[in-house]
Amino acid sequence: MTASANTEVVRAFTRAFNAGDVEGVIAVCDPEVEFQSTFAAVGGAVYRGHDGIRQWHRDLEETWGKEIRSDLETLYEVGERMLVFTVLHGRGEQSGAEVDLPAAMVIRLQNGVLHDFRGYSHRDDALEDLGVALDELEPISPH
């Protein structure tokens, strides 16, 4: 799969996420997808399959409200994975506090769909897990 095709899947995922369209998110995910998220549940959680994506979405809304959105900053192709730098915007459902959180996602695509997704609240953790330095990567425009 080319970088442009991978990038378009990430963009489609983000458009569906920002629209609150969980079925649109599922449409770009493998039926056996695995999501690991530090944002959806206290202490992080692992979600598997399409039903897991639905639970992930419910957990996100419980924590961050229905208006959570992701603004893509930069994409990077790292082997078979995409590294995504984004800023998450939301409002704490309990506190009402507005949050702008720089974050990272590492996404492995397989056969044109998301197969593995890991969300990071610290970008350096994503780089460390990938075993790369930011200055080694070629940025891809998110638009």
Per-residue pLDDT of the chain (143 residues; tens, 9 = 90+): 455 789 999 999 999 999 999 999 999 999 999 999 876 655 568 999 999 999 998 888 887 777 789 999 999 999 889 999 999 888 766 777 788 889 999 999 999 999 999 999 899 999 999 999 999 999 998 88
Q: Is the dihedral of CA 80, 30, 116, 62 positive or negative?
A: positive
Secondary structure, 3-state, 85-101: EEEEEEECCCCCCEEEE
Q: Let me know if domain 3-137 sits in CATH 3.10.450.50.
A: yes
